[in-house]
Structure formats: structure tokens, C-alpha cells
Amino acid sequence: MGNGTTRAASGGRGMTPQAIRRRLQRLVVLPMACAALLSGGGCAVVVIGATVGAGTLVAMDRRSTGVRAGDQAIESKVTKAASEKWGITAHINVTSYDGKVLLTGEVPTPAIRDEIERIAKATEFVRGVTNELLVGPESTIGGRTQDTYITSKVKARLIESKQFDANNVKVVTERRTVYLLGLVSPAEGDAAAEVAASTSDVERVVKLFLYTS
């Protein structure tokens, strides 16, 4: 073992800075390439697209840093309040964009549905609530998985359309209904809705945009 360690160390001492950089680049690139081959071309594209999109979203988001932080706080507070009060008896998703809150999921009674809306409206920084909670049994794991897949397809098609900056459109899918949020122009909003509506498996599209003009 000692000889092996010595050889590895001595191999690095004789390398130029340029050679060292090339070796480090290979160490990073090769595992990524192997992972792409193992996962298949389609999966690799989806993963790369999601990563790039997530990184670009913060940089290109039309909301200010303070507004983004406020939206995150709203989502956290409402989710926590609902979880502490009803636990696993209610399946609730909270999405906030510029203080406008979207509630989706399933709850067991109309009273709980209305109470969650009151909690959301009373939360600091909230400027409005769209309550799309369904009174009924929780969605299945299979249904939620399909919703996640639909969201990924809509996001990918928004990027591919190149009609506008897709980073300004937030996509939420619940029971095959796609909700579109974001700060966009009317033309951008219409284009995004058309893309979502023409995506396979989408049954309904709801626009909840804030418009720039």
C-alpha cells in the first residue's frame, strides 16, 4: 500500500498546472457521462434540463429577492400550520407566487377546506388565495407520480417553445389539472397556456398569472 501511495503522489508532482486541470476535468466529466449512459439518453436530458432550469430560475426570476423569500416563508408557514392541525388526514400543497397562494390537494371535509383557506389568508405577506382543495379521498401514489411527470413535460415544452422565458412560469399539476403561475405579459401567458393545454395527459389548464402590463 505504501508503494501505491508513493506512486500516486509522485505522479502529480511532475505535472504542469494545465495537465492537473485537465485531469480534474476528466474526473468530473467521466462519472457524469457514465451516469448518462446507465440512465439512458432520455433520462439524462430530463435531469440536465431540470438542473439547468432550477439554476436559471433564481437568476431570471422577475420577483425580487425579498418577494421570493416571502413566498417561501408563506409556503412553509401555511404547510406547517395545516400539518400540525390535521397531520396525515389531509393532503395539502401550498404554492405562493408574489403573495398569491394556490392551495391544492385533498381534504376530508368542507370545514377543513375552508379553515385552511382562512389560515392562508391570515398569513403574513399573503395578498390572495385560490382554493382548489378537493373534498374527498387522497390521490394515489400513482396519480401523484403522473402529475409530477405532467409537470416535467409541460416545463420541457415551455422551454422548447422558445416563445418566452420559461423561467418566469411556475407549473403546478394536481389531478391532471395544470396551474400556471408567474409574472408575465398577457401574450406570454396565453402562449404558455396553449403549450400546457396541448401537452399529453393534461385535462385542464388554469391561469393564475400576474401580468406585467
Query: 14-67 pLDDT, tens per residue?
Result: 555 455 444 444 433 333 333 333 333 332 222 222 223 333 344 468 899 999
| Global pTM value | 0.71
Q: Tens digits of per-residue pLDDT, 106-158?
A: 999 999 999 999 999 999 999 999 999 999 999 999 999 999 999 999 999 99
Name the grid cell of 207.
Answer: 391561469
pLDDT at site 60: 65
Q: How many helices (H) and strands (E) does the chain have?
A: 7, 8
Residue closest to 156 by CA, chosen among 45, 32, 37: 45
Query: Per-residue DSSP letters for 66-135?
Result: HHHHHHHHHHHHHHHHHHHHHGGG-EEEEEEETTEEEEEEEES-HHHHHHHHHHHHHSTT--EEEE--EE
DSSP state of 64: -
